[in-house]
Amino acid sequence: TGIIPAPTIGDHDAVFACVNVRVRRFQPRYKWIRLERKFVTEEFLQDSANLPFSVIYGLESPDDMVNALNTLFSESIERHAPLKRIKLTRPPAPWMNANEIRKLQADRDRLRFEAHKANSDDSWKAFREVRNKIKSVINKTKRNFIKTALSSNRPKEVWRMIHRILHPNKKPLHADPDKLNDYFINTNERTLGTKPAALSDLLEFIDSLSDSTTPQQSFSLRPVSHREVLCEIDKLRSDTSTGIDNIPVKFVKLAREHLAGPLQYIINNCIARSAFPEAWKIARISPIPKIDQPLCEADYRPVSILPALSKMIAYIEERVLLGATISGFRKGHSTTTVLLGIRDALIRASKKGEVTLMVYADYSKAFDTVQFRCVLTKMHGLGFSKSFLHWMINYLTNRQQLVQINDSKSSLLTVQFGVPQGSVLGPAIFNLYVADLQEKLQLPCYQYADDTSFYTHSKVCDLDSAVKDVNDAIVRLVDYSQCSNLALNSSKTDWMLVSTPQMARAHDLGDRTFSIKCGDKFLERIKCKNLLGIYLNEHLSWSSHIDYLLTSCYGILAVLKKLKNLTPFHVRKTLVESLVLSKIDYASPVFHPLPIYQQKRLQRLQNSCAGFVLRRFARQEDLATLNWLNISKRMDFNILKLAYKALHDDSFPEYLRLSLHCVNAYSLRSSSAPVLDIPKESGTFQDSAASIFNKLPEEIRNINNYRTFCRCIKKHFKNSE
């Protein structure tokens, strides 16, 4: 920066700044890849069929069994698709392998040699012509390659190409893997400072527990069948990274028939011995930067990757053990159902002339601070058998992890706290760990993973009593967090007073002060809260959330315009539907119904999306050509999908259940189509769902298949436009 004197122009000097706009060069790095060019599926399956898996049945220790299985199967994979360490010296450019480019490069090198030798104008002119031609051919070939890749019917290839276009030169990580691993391991020590318990002490604690339930009532692991193992293998995702064993899911699925028998034997042996193989406890941590230029260990987020075969343990059936308002990682539950439950509770209170004091509790590193002794205590209280607790403590303890950056690995360190992230059982264990929180608070509470919100309703004249109830609940929350080894972050825990705008003006609620404390710290009062991706404000108006949606979605559209001339029609349509319209659809039943002016704002956004796809100015009438519903019908469509689940899915939350209208026995109606009761409180999910559902034709309301129901209501909405 500097100043240029300019007395002849004016009284002010000119300020200037020099900015380095050079494109960052690609920095070389090393990577391990599998060479699959010569891979033949039939030969691999034949080799897998001939592997001596029978030796596994002669071993006694589950660790020896898993090591034998990993060794045999890894050697088979290595014979057909060996791992190779390669050096990446430039960004991937597969279009450079075109025959025309290779031929021109050979001609260029020959002409350069001849030009240096002859040093004549004609030879240099011939060299420059070929050199310039190569540049144009490379640009043309690259453009055609990108268009072909973006036209693929395989979403993974399309997204990989989009990422390559938008982020052409990804900056490598320069962090020390050992320092990162030490930082991740010591999360509990930094946060709470508690010491881990020895395994021998945990085993003694299990033996000291009383048999509070009969064997018929307690929960125990049961042996698995061959068919169940095959089903679990089919459920594994093939597009995930490999664990420390370097066994890709792709090859596990190919050899599923040969692996199911040994895996069934190993799993049942683990259940019988209350053990879990040590090789399946080792996690590979991939650090993901939270910001563009990470400066310290806190700027990285650890992503745990476990061996694929360790995910064969079946899910714990937790529905009967958890309260209705615990929604994280549960079938039939979602962030939308939690938000609907909270919103409906606030609406019902406002209809009664009440205000709501709501506290949003924030926990720091909740999954990483879970204490194993507390896990045993809570599971025993829920009725889990001692044999299961012995297996669980073996599953949780002696876990190790390493951090890997490119081909650099840290040393292994032992994990002393936390649930295994990246595992099948980790989310279920955490849900069971916090299942008793609602009972301790003694106030209505909604939980989604580590997000906890609790509240109380009261008349304005009784607000002081409500404040006392909330402060008492916070004291119980602090005690519960200390006993459960959870770090309650008081600096990020805040509260909101929810009321109607009319009530707030009449009673000056915005100017009133309340002393709500967490320990010695007064909690901050907020007017708007980003709760699970939805901006909830103190008057239940959705202007803040709509503003956020518009800003975010228009920003995404601006980025997508870089790809407009490279992508065919169906790819542009897929991009907009997955990146923009999905944001509009997310939890849209929560802010239904919207005022007309807010609907128009969202409708203009959808019209802009249609304009991007059609590459011209688009109006609402053009949505039919894209098979899209307008914003109003789109929101009704999403409510009807939830209404169908509420009627037909037993796992759907109880607090959002819909009641069927009982027709009088003497009614002359002969219709057998279900009709929903309309509740007294308007604006709730039950009210919106009943109002929209009851207007559907009888043949649609009688449909008992979810996909057919969605297809028919979408067709019905299109015909009604």
How many helices (H) and strands (E) are present in the chain, helices listed first? 26, 20
C-alpha closest to that of 403 among 285, 281, 307: 285
**What pLDDT was estimated at residue 169?**
58
Distance of CA 202 to CAs 188, 273, 371, 623, Å?
A: 19, 17, 11, 62
| Digit-coded pLDDT (tens) for 228-275 | 899 889 988 887 888 899 999 999 999 999 999 999 999 999 988 889
Instruction: List the one residue out of 306, 529, 524, 316 whose CA is nearest residue 428.
Output: 316
Closest CA to 413 of 245, 187, 247: 187
Look-up of token digits 């420390």: 244
Cα–Cα distance, 340 to 589 (Å, whole number)? 8
DSSP string, 337-357: HHHHHHHHHHHHHHHTT-EEE
669 burial via Cβ count (<10 Å: 0-12, 13-18, 19+): exposed
For position 329, what pLDDT does the model report?
Answer: 83
How far apart are the C-alpha atoms of 641 and 665, rounded to whole Å?
30
| Region of residue 523 (left: phi > 0; alpha: psi -120 to 50; beta: else) | beta
Q: pLDDT tens across 506-565, in order?
A: 888 888 888 898 888 899 999 999 999 999 999 988 999 999 999 999 998 998 888 777
Report the SS3 class of residue 394: helix
What residue spans define the domains of the chain?
36-81, 94-151, 177-326+369-419, 335-362+425-541, 543-663+671-720
Tokens coding 222: 């049961």
pLDDT tens-digit series, residues 662-706: 655 444 454 577 888 888 788 899 999 999 999 999 899 888 899
Q: Which residue type sits at 452?
A: T
**Model pTM?**
0.84
Kindly report the average pLDDT of the chain as a whole number: 87
Q: How far is CA 199 from CA 205, 308, 373, 385, 402, in A?
A: 10, 26, 10, 19, 22
- Both tokens of residue 182? 């030490």
For residue 164, give the 3-state DSSP assignment. helix
- In angstroms, the CA 617 to CA 611 distance is 5
Which fold, 335-362+425-541? Alpha-Beta Plaits (3.30.70)
Strand partners, 361: 452
Strand partners, 537: 528
Select from 603, 553, 602, 547 the least CA-distant residue to 578.
553
Query: At CA 715, angle to CA 711 and CA 721, rounded to 5?
Result: 150
